[in-house]
């Protein structure tokens, strides 16, 4: 006489038949043994029940030295699953904490809904860091809940590994600067960047003209400093570019950044002088807000012009693309609004024939968010890495093959969510302040009448 199936077995059988359609299955002659039915539920993703997932807490730790100060947030849930995100380097953790009361009790899998709820609390540059960090953590949670890597939830990937470009520490000695760039190349990087600041030459008499007396501070925009570079200054900066090209050759892309707060006409003159070095791009020559002036530089110089690391949300990027003000856009995912918003930025740029490089300076958490976005965006060019000289950078996380950066690339992880978890022991060694994801009840009820319409 057959043994009566247990209640659990009956329930599992019922789940299986509901999932695949009992009538169709058995109508096709499907017949499964009890042991096969028992094996089926063991392969089901049971980390969470997505429809019942709810956010219960938002906590923060701040890592320092990777390469700068980087707050990492953790969104906890009622099912023990959590998501990681990262506030933009150098930004206040408060930008994320103030969002906690707007998130408690919400289902983190409703990523776009929650992003629309909180995006009004972000802003350009570091002020977009809180919203962007939360958006990353929501995607990490959704991926874990559904057992899928983030790139898959964005529509799949265009590439299995993501090309990096490495910024390079400056030196007042052009030959030493060139040697450092060549060392990047020897490590396997296939895209390089150097800083060509007037700071390299301004102590040499006759290189820069500017008003006498108190110099303009760093918060004065380029067009209002009265500072212009001379022919002598341009020639000296070109010596750095020439030495770099001599060291690395003409075949590898070489970009330039951090020119200083010089006027628009100086930017054009310097850009023209750099044309013969076939630069990959000239970055942030003036503030991004001045669309018409950027277009003036772009039209005058036969070198790609790039901007975008301080822009929050896709609308300002759309204006730059429509105006043909730049040749390449350069969002920082930890500023721009997070993973999905940055993919949207890339897609709208592609429609205008504009490529997307990505700025990044932070821990592997934000790096992996950028990697997923880059993998899912067709017109992606390369992703920045500022941590080549930080020996413990990749030790901050687990769950991913090491080295994370290999011959100038990061392989796209296939694990659910971001694909990494924090290495608690290593993180604790590099905290700005003591404590590890301490409770934040003081932010539970912070709020106001947030609606933007009457």
**What is the reported pLDDT for 38?**
44
In this structure, are 107 and 167 located in the same domain? Answer: no
Q: What's the total number of domains in the chain?
A: 2
Q: Which of 74, 78, 18 is nearest to 48 (CA)?
A: 78
pLDDT at 200: 96
- Shared domain check, 411 and 380: yes
Pairing of strands 208-209, 228-229: antiparallel
Determine the 3-state secondary structure of 345 from DSSP.
helix
72 alpha-carbon distance from chain centroid: 13
184 lies in a domain?
Answer: yes
In this structure, the answer to whether residues 118 and 255 fall within a common structural domain is no
Element (H, E) at 228: strand 228-229
Based on the fold, state whether residues 171 and 295 are members of the same structural domain: yes
CATH number of the domain residue 62 falls in: 3.30.390.10
* Residue 59 burial (C-beta neighbours within 10 Å; 0-12, 13-18, 19+): buried
Residue 409 preceded by cis peptide, ω within 30: no
Phi, psi of 409 (to 5 degrees): -135, 160
* 3 domain-assigned: no
18 lies in a domain? no
Asked if 333 and 339 count as a contact pair (C-beta separation under 8 A), the reply is: yes
Which residue range(s) make up the domain with 352?
161-418
Both 187 and 300 in one domain: the answer is yes
Residue 7 pLDDT: 37
- 261: CATH: 3.20.20.120
CB 437 within 8 A of CB 74: yes
Residue segments in the chain with a per-residue pLDDT below the cut of 50? 1-32, 35-46
What is the reported pLDDT for 446?
A: 87
- Regarding whether 328 and 292 lie in a shared domain, the answer is yes
Position 84 scores a pLDDT of: 98
- C-alpha dist (Å) from residue 334 to 112, 149, 312, 329, 406: 16, 19, 9, 15, 23
Report d(CA 85, CA 365) in Å as an integer.
6
Check: CB of residue 72 under 8 Å from CB of residue 60: yes
Hey, is 253 helix, strand or coil?
A: coil
State the pairing for strand pair 355-358/380-385. parallel
Beta bridge partners of 73: 60, 85
Angle at 31 (CA atoms; ends 29, 35), nearest 5 degrees: 165
Residues 232 and 316 in one domain: yes
Backbone angles phi, psi at 334, to 5 degrees: -80, 0
């Amino acid at each position: 006489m057959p043994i009566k199936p247990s209640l659990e077995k009956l329930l599992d059988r019922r789940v299986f038949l509901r999932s695949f359609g009992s009538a169709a299955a058995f109508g096709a002659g499907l017949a499964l043994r009890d042991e096969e039915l028992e094996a089926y539920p063991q392969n089901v993703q049971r980390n969470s029940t997505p429809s019942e997932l709810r956010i219960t807490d938002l906590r923060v730790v701040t890592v320092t030295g990777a390469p700068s100060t980087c707050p990492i947030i953790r969104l906890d849930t009622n099912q023990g699953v959590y998501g990681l995100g990262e506030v933009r380097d150098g930004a206040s953790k408060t930008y994320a904490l103030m969002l906690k009361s707007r998130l408690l009790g919400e289902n983190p899998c409703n990523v776009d809904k929650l992003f629309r709820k909180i995006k009004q609390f972000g802003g350009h540059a570091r002020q977009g860091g809180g919203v962007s960090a939360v958006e990353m953590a929501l995607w990490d949670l959704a991926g874990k809940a559904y057992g899928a890597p983030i790139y898959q939830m964005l529509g799949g990937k265009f590439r299995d590994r993501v090309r990096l470009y490495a910024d390079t520490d400056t030196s007042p000695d052009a030959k030493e600067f060139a040697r450092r760039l060549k060392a990047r190349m020897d490590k396997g990087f296939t895209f390089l960047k150097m800083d060509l600041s007037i700071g390299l030459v301004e102590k040499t008499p006759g290189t820069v003209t500017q008003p006498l007396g108190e110099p303009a501070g760093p918060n004065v925009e380029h067009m209002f400093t009265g500072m212009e570079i001379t022919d002598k200054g341009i020639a000296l900066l070109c010596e750095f570019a020439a030495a770099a090209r001599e060291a690395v050759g003409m075949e590898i892309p070489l970009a330039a950044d951090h020119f200083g707060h010089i006027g628009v006409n100086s930017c054009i003159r310097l850009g023209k002088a750099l044309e013969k070095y076939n630069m990959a791009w000239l970055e942030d020559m003036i503030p991004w807000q001045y669309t018409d002036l950027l277009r003036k530089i772009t039209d005058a110089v036969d070198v790609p012009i790039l901007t975008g690391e301080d822009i929050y949300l896709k609308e300002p990027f759309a204006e730059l693309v429509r105006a043909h003000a730049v040749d390449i856009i350069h969002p920082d995912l930890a500023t721009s609004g997070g993973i999905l918003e940055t993919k949207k930025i890339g897609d709208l740029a592609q429609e205008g024939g504009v490529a997307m490089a990505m700025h990044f300076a932070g821990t592997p958490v934000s790096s992996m968010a950028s990697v997923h976005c880059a993998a899912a965006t067709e017109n992606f060019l390369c992703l920045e890495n500022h941590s080549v000289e930080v020996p413990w950078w990749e030790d901050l996380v687990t769950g991913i093959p090491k080295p994370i950066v290999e011959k100038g690339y990061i392989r796209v992880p296939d694990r659910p969510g971001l694909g990494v978890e924090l290495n608690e022991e290593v993180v604790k060694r590099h905290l700005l302040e003591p404590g590890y994801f301490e409770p934040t009840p003081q932010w539970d009820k912070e709020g106001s009448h947030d609606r933007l319409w009457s």
